[in-house]
Amino acid sequence: MFFGYPLAATENNWLHDCVLESVKNVHALVEAEKRYPAWPKILPNEYQARLKSRTGLRDRIKAYNNALRKLSSKGERDYILAAVTDQNRIADLLSNACDCAALDALPSAIHEAAISLFDFAFVMLTDLKVRDEHYTAIYNAAIEHVCPFCGTEYFDAPGAPREALDHYLAKSRYPFAAANLRNLVPMGHKCNSKYKLAADVLYDADGVRRVALDPYNHTSIAVVLDDSDPFDGSTPITPRWTINFDPDARAVQTWAAVFSIRERYQRDHLDEGYLAWLKEFQNWARSADRLADTDDSLVESLRRFEQLCAVNGMRDKAFLKAAAFRMLRLRCEQGHERLKRLLRDLLAPPTTTAPCS
Ligand SMILES: [Zn+2]
């Protein structure tokens, strides 16, 4: 992803904290062979008055208690309790500093109750306005109002129909983190519903453990197209793109794989936009009286246009355009004669035939 979200946006995590503490209270009572208390005494003291009327929450914590008490093995119960904690060590899991048991490794007797309770808590985040406050904090802190996972989808302002809120660690595998704001990230519709889906960012398709970017703790990354060939891609005059990232870290490769970034950029943005970008370059150069009668003037025009795109950041895919024109400039500097001919013709006065006019 191209920028991280502010950790401060996750501070209002009280509902998750409350439910997690309540589950730990259930485990403690079961191990002490004590009876389940009257509602809402299973909740931490500070949340009892606030959540007393929430009968859906009441029923689901009680159902979790009943399911847990059916497990006669203390070892199985302890294994579940460890997963309750470990599935929420989000930063450590993403950096591969720790592991956790996923749902399918837990005793099946607890599955339904665990999923139901934490799914319900996730839905409560909307009702309790926690979700909207979380999104507003992220939106207001962002310089660019785009989906940072692809850089090409715009985010609407708070108050508009809500953007998707992705469970970064999929709730189908890590249900105890389903209502944890640290695991919840606003995401564009395409990234969420067409590409990431329920992919496990901690394991690849072959089940190999991997590291992943932490949406709340990482610096920006850049797209690098320098190794592309200026011709003979999807058409003879479209570049054959080589898409790299800086830094080229393992977590960046996980991100690119989970969100199909290379495939999407080549098909939907680079191939699709390239001829229009050349036309834009032509229009800009002509309006600025920038001719390309020498190699130096051509390179300088490319450099100026690249810089113009770069200052526009993520808007209108300007970061991809800047990377493409950087590649064209580098190739011209290296003496790519076919490319220089094409670009010189492009910037020639309008009376001359230009390939993109
Ligand atoms: Zn996106």
Centre of ligand 1 from the C-alpha of residue 286, in Å: 34
| Upstream peptide bond of 161 is cis (omega within 30 degrees of 0) | no
Residues 6 or more apart whose CB falls under 8 angstroms from that of 197 comprise none
Mean pLDDT of 288-309: 91
* Ligand 1 centroid distance, CA of 111 (Å): 31
Given a cut of 90, is residue 292 above it in pLDDT? no
Asked if residues 210 and 204 have their Cβ atoms less than 8 Å apart, the reply is yes
Quote the ligand 1 centre to 285 CA distance (angstroms).
Answer: 32
DSSP string, 234-287: SSTTSEE---EEES--HHHHHHHHHTTHHHHIIIIIIHHHHHHHHHHHHHHHHH
- Over 70: is that where the pLDDT of 352 sits? no
Query: Does pLDDT of 254 surpass 50?
Result: yes
Mean pLDDT of all residues in 293-315: 93
Distance from residue 197's CA to the centre of ligand 1 (Å)? 12
Gap from CA of 119 to ligand 1 centroid (Å): 24
Reference 281, options 190, 343, 238; nearest CA is 343
68-110 tens-digit pLDDT: 999 999 999 999 999 999 999 999 999 999 999 999 999 999 9
Band the pLDDT of 357: cuts 50, 70, 90: very low
Helix (H, G, I), strand (E, B) or coil at 188: coil
309 CA from centroid of ligand 1 (Å)? 20
How confident is the model at residue 189, as a pLDDT? 95
pLDDT value of position 322: 97
Ligand 1 is an ion; residues with CB less than 5 A from it = 147, 149-150, 153, 188, 191
The rounded Å distance from CA 28 to ligand 1 centre is: 42
Residues comprising the chain, all counted = 357
- What's the pTM? 0.92
* pLDDT tens figures, 85-94: 999 999 999 9
- Flag whether pLDDT at 355 surpasses 80: no
Report the mean per-residue pLDDT for the chain: 95
Which amino acid does the sequence have at 161? Answer: P
Residues in Cβ contact with 112 at an 8 Å cutoff, skipping those fewer than 6 apart: 67
pLDDT in tens, 131-160: 999 999 999 999 889 999 999 999 999 998
Which residues contact residue 92 at a Cβ distance below 8 angstroms, ignoring those fewer than 6 apart? 98
Instruction: Give the pLDDT score at 356.
Output: 55
Report CA(1)–ligand 1 centroid distance (Å): 9
Model confidence pLDDT, tens digit, residues 32-64? 999 999 999 999 999 999 999 999 999 999 999
Cα–ligand 1 centroid distance for 344 (angstroms)? 36
Place of tokens 């495939």: 263
User: Per-residue pLDDT tens for 60-69?
Assistant: 999 999 999 9
Report how far ligand 1's centroid is from the alpha carbon of 147 (Å): 5
Q: What is the largest CA-CA distance in the chain?
A: 91
pLDDT at 354 over 70: no
Q: What is the mean pLDDT of residues 293-307?
A: 94
Report the share of the chain in percent with pLDDT over 90.
89
Encode pLDDT of 171-227 as tens digits. Answer: 999 999 999 999 999 999 999 999 999 899 999 999 999 999 999 987 789 999 999
Burial class of residue 311, CB neighbours in 10 A (0-12, 13-18, 19+): exposed
Contact status, residue 309 vs residue 247, Cβ threshold 8 Å: no
Across the range 1-29, mean pLDDT stands at 96
Fill in the amino acid letter for 171: K
How large is the C-alpha radius of gyration of the chain?
26
Location of structure tokens 């991100």: 255
CB contact burial 145-181 (16+ within 10 A = b; e otherwise) = ebbbbbbbbebeeeeeeebbbbbbbbbebbbbbbbbb
Neighbour tally for 218: CB within 10 Å: 20
